[in-house]
Amino acid sequence: MKNLFRLLSFGRSYWIVIIISFISSILYGLFNAASLWVVGSLIGTIFGVSVKNQSQDISGLNEKINYFFNSLIESQTPFEQLKMVCICLFITFVFKNIFFYINWVGLSFIQLNIIKDIRNKFYKSVQNFPISFFDKNKTGEILSIMLNDINWIRVAFNKSFHTFFHEIISMGILLFMLFLISPSLTLIIIFTVPISGFIIIKISQSIKRKAKRASFKIADISSFVEEKIIGIKIVKAFNMTITEVNKFIKNNFKFYQLQFNQQKLYGLTTPVNDIIGVCLASVLLLYGGQKVLLQNHISPDDFMRFILFLFAMLQPARKLGNSIASLQTGLASSDRLFSIIDYSIEKNKKSELITINAFDNHIKIDDVSFQYENSNNEALKNINVTINKGEKIALIGRSGSGKTTFSNLLLKFYNPTKGKIYLDDSIYNNVNTQNLRDLIGLVTQDAILFNDSVLNNISYGQKNINKDEVVEAAKTANIHDFIVSLENGYASVIGERGTLLSGGQKQRLSIARAILKNPPILIFDEATSSLDSESEQKVQLAINNLVKDRTVIMIAHRLSTIKNADKILVFDKGQIVESGNHDDLIKKNGLYKQLYKLQLEDIHE
């Protein structure tokens, strides 16, 4: 129920439309009741009950309503009465449907805007989560919530939102009219509500449990499909196509079973409502008929109207029961949705955040250690180093030694477990993260590109950039000639993850993006390690153009590219074990020389 109120809270921005819809629902309910009353009068007229013979006792509300309608249709001949009843019937149905349409449009507007705002909030939340969130959660699961769970919420809202808002008001008005006609008969109806409600709620709770399990299963399927499509080359290379298809079929069958069991339960709601309804109608007909035929406690006219109102109320009651069941599917999906939105993020208070517009002196790492969540070992241990402005710093070491973790801390993807990082004289944790990253450019080993034009990929993250600036950055990155050779030039779309480009072309586009950003600090994460010799030469030339007059932190795989670095930091098991320039480290005859010698041997072989 808590999540239902949270979902409905998204509608607060549309309170004016809610009020209009609420008023329209009331007016619809009133005109619907009036149309049924007129239908009762029409039947009475057809069967020859003269309105002149009706009781003139108008002390009660029921009698006053009767008197009002009888006054409208009172005439000299039965045909004239019938004519007036038909006119009143037409008028009530016209206004009833006008207010129904206003209500429908208003509720559709609210419902669709709520779903839009939920989806916006979810995506905004995901974009603001720290990198550690993505370490622990599958991309496929996040996409499943965005596409499947929010869609289930939309479907549930579509089936239940109008019903809850619209039919409850109609049922309330119809129940009130039943109570006016016969309080004793109406009390019988009220006493059956808890029985029906209990059965429907029990069924709905079971539907919610199965819907929740189904949402987890479709998330697993989404993750599975995404992983296998990304790795399709490996799947084919190792002849695993049949195996992967069989795995998918097995998982998809489990999902089908969960959905089928859910639908079987959902299908119970209508028969249960109908059986309860027909039992209720039979009892009322028997009991009410006795009051009309034997005791004369109710006039035939009123009993006829009572039956009309009763059967008119059974339809929205049935819809309400089905809607409760449908809503459980949406609530099950909302559990997963809010579990992501509510993911805890440590935030500095705005008053504590510092804005820095320039990098003037140094970055100081003071006794920093870091440990990933759910890991027993520290990725970095007691790191102490100062990077001065304008220095070219190289990070080397075996795989898993802590180099990338070091660069991730500089980008504030993670916060140190222990120790502090300073940018000039400001502590990293106190600096506005967005402002900090404006000062840093990143070129990764796997160039991150989007299924967009070359122009938009290079200018990504930059505002008020004209094409000439993009072209200049591309020329500096030695990629301009290739771009203009494309059929659509800078407007060419490069495919998902830049699949239409070679590795070297992707890296040079990534470097052009960093050049356009023009940051004072640059981080290269093994930017040339996966390239062939020819591509590496072109990328290295682009890098040389980029690093001029900047502070550079370069994670290196090929040691030949970092011989001219001002300082080389050698990592091993999360610690800096050696530090100095190339010549100094060779003289130390330590780990650096060992790694350098191994690479030379590989080259000669």
Q: Is 581 helix (H, G, I), strand (E, B) or coil?
A: coil
CB atoms within 10 A of CB 391: 16
- At position 138, the amino acid (one-letter code) is K
The answer to whether 569 touches 576, Cβ cutoff 8 Å, is: yes
Q: Measured between alpha carbons, how far is residue 185 from residues 62, 63, 415 in Å?
A: 15, 17, 69
The answer to whether 155 touches 330, Cβ cutoff 8 Å, is: yes
pLDDT digits (tens, 9 = 90+) for 521-553: 888 887 665 556 666 676 677 777 777 778 889
39 contact partners, CB below 8 Å, separation of at least 6: 89, 308
- Rounded to whole angstroms, how far apart are CA atoms 61 and 68? 10
- At position 116, the amino acid (one-letter code) is K
The answer to whether 292 touches 298, Cβ cutoff 8 Å, is: yes
* Average predicted confidence (pLDDT) for the chain: 77
* Range with the poorest average pLDDT among 14-28, 63-77, 496-510, 564-578: 63-77
pLDDT over threshold 70, residue 258: yes
51 contact partners, CB below 8 Å, separation of at least 6: 41, 44, 45, 70, 73, 74, 81
- Rounded to whole angstroms, how far apart are CA atoms 72 and 54? 13
Give the residue with greater pLDDT, 174 vs 480. 480
pLDDT digits (tens, 9 = 90+) for 422-474: 988 888 888 888 888 888 888 877 777 888 888 988 888 888 888 888 998 88
Q: Is 571 helix (H, G, I), strand (E, B) or coil?
A: strand
Out of 156-170, 349-363, 529-543, give the one with best mean pLDDT. 349-363
pLDDT digits (tens, 9 = 90+) for 104-134: 888 888 888 888 888 888 888 887 777 777 7
pLDDT digits (tens, 9 = 90+) for 391-425: 889 898 888 888 889 988 998 888 899 999 998 88
Residues of the chain above pLDDT 90, percent: 6
Using CA of residue 498, residue 502, residue 503, residue 505, what is the dihedral sign?
negative
Q: What pLDDT is attached to residue 62?
A: 56
Q: What pLDDT is attached to residue 45?
A: 52
Nearest to 586 by CA among 572, 573, 600: 600
